[in-house]
């Protein structure tokens, strides 16, 4: 037993000595050995990422491609459902199409104009529990009222107005991401990066916070499209409260970053969201 222990100790001592030699006086063979070892570790990590689990929330190629594939199915299926199926409720198909397109364009716009911040979360599918609950409640109201009041579900002018608001909101949000480029972020930042600029051109010359404007009217439009009177009132209330608080804090950080430049821009540029100045 003592002999085996001594042998192990000598082996460990030899490894330690070897590492010390490599670290203190590396030669070409040592460098090649370390390089090969790091390449092997990198290969293992790559294999793990490429052949890992799917739908586990990790920023892996298989998850990114699968999210895009599923969104494409929902978007295309919703559009066909809304246009081609004569016995279906067209507004439900348009809603599914708009929802899938919203998340897909979030990722696409980030990939094209802000690739440094591109991750799986750029789809905004894992946005928050409140976001998922809001859509679940709106679908529940739609289903209940469809059963109780089927005459309400005839596609009429309110649905058309809702569809127009959805399109307007989506265009505004995507255009905002295109105009802001690397200055756009899905999260409010508390520090000013060296390349951070106050964007005042494009759609930002017409309104402050065009991405918020876009989502506000997109969400309101969805409820008009589905003709959900209860959810419409709830959405307007919570959207107003959420964006009032978020814009207030974001503008506080922008004032710290840009000072008088921000004050001048804010004075001459509205938000175009009701009761949010």
Task: Please tell me the distance from the alpha carbon of residue 15 to that of residue 13, in angstroms, as a whole number.
Answer: 5
57 Rama sector, left if φ>0, alpha if ψ -120 to 50, beta otherwise: left
CATH number at 182 reads: 1.20.120.1630
Residue 168's CB: how many other CB atoms inside 10 A?
15
Q: Is 30 helix (H, G, I), strand (E, B) or coil?
A: helix
Backbone φ, ψ for residue 186 (5° rounding): -75, -10
pLDDT recorded at residue 18? 47
pLDDT, tens only, 14-36? 544 444 444 455 666 666 666 76
Q: Is 203 inside any structural domain?
A: yes
Boundaries of domain holding 151: 63-268
Cβ burial of 56 (10 Å; 0-12, 13-18, 19+) is exposed
Residue ranges in the chain modelled with pLDDT below 70: 1-34, 36-52, 87-88
Number of domains in the chain: 1
Q: Is 276 helix (H, G, I), strand (E, B) or coil?
A: strand
- Judge whether 207 and 272 are in contact, CB under 8 Å: yes
Q: Is 5 inside any structural domain?
A: no
Cβ burial of 137 (10 Å; 0-12, 13-18, 19+) is middle
Q: Is 247 inside any structural domain?
A: yes
- Judge whether 70 and 138 are in contact, CB under 8 Å: no
What is the 3 state secondary structure string of 155-184? CCHHHHHHHHHHHHHHHHHHHHHHHHHHHC
Q: Is 9 inside any structural domain?
A: no
Q: Is 154 helix (H, G, I), strand (E, B) or coil?
A: coil
Q: To 5 degrees, how large is the angle CA 206–CA 207–CA 211?
A: 120
- Judge whether 142 and 182 are in contact, CB under 8 Å: no
Smallest CA-to-CA distance from 135 within 18, 234, 58 is with 234
Q: To 5 degrees, how large is the angle CA 200–CA 203–CA 208?
A: 65
Q: Is 78 inside any structural domain?
A: yes
- Judge whether 99 and 166 are in contact, CB under 8 Å: no
Q: Is 238 inside any structural domain?
A: yes
Q: Is 197 inside any structural domain?
A: yes
Q: Is 12 inside any structural domain?
A: no
């Amino acid at each position: 037993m003592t002999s085996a222990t001594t042998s192990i100790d000598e082996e460990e001592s030899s490894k330690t000595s070897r590492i010390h030699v490599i670290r203190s006086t590396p030669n070409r063979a040592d460098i090649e050995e370390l390089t090969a070892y790091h390449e092997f570790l990198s290969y293992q990590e790559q294999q793990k990422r490429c052949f890992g689990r799917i739908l586990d929330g990790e920023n892996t190629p298989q998850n990114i491609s699968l999210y895009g594939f599923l969104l494409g199915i929902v978007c295309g299926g919703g559009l066909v459902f809304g246009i081609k199926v004569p016995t279906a409720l067209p507004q439900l198909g348009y809603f599914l199409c708009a929802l899938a397109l919203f998340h897909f364009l979030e990722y696409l716009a980030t990939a094209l104009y802000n690739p440094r911040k591109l991750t799986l979360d750029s789809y905004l599918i894992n946005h928050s529990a409140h976001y998922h609950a809001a859509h679940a409640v709106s679908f529940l109201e739609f289903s209940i009222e469809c059963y109780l009041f089927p005459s309400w579900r005839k596609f009429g002018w309110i649905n058309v107005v809702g569809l127009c608001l959805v399109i307007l909101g989506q265009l505004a949000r995507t255009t905002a991401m295109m105009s802001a480029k690397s200055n756009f972020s899905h999260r409010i930042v508390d520090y000013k990066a060296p390349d951070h600029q106050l964007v005042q051109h494009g759609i930002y010359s017409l309104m402050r916070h065009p991405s918020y404007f876009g989502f506000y009217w997109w969400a309101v439009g969805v409820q008009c499209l589905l003709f959900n009177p209860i959810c419409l009132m709830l959405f307007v209330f919570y959207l107003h409260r959420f964006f009032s608080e978020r814009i207030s804090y974001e503008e506080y950080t922008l004032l710290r970053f840009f000072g008088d430049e921000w004050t001048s821009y804010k004075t001459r540029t509205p938000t175009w969201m009701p009761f949010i100045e």
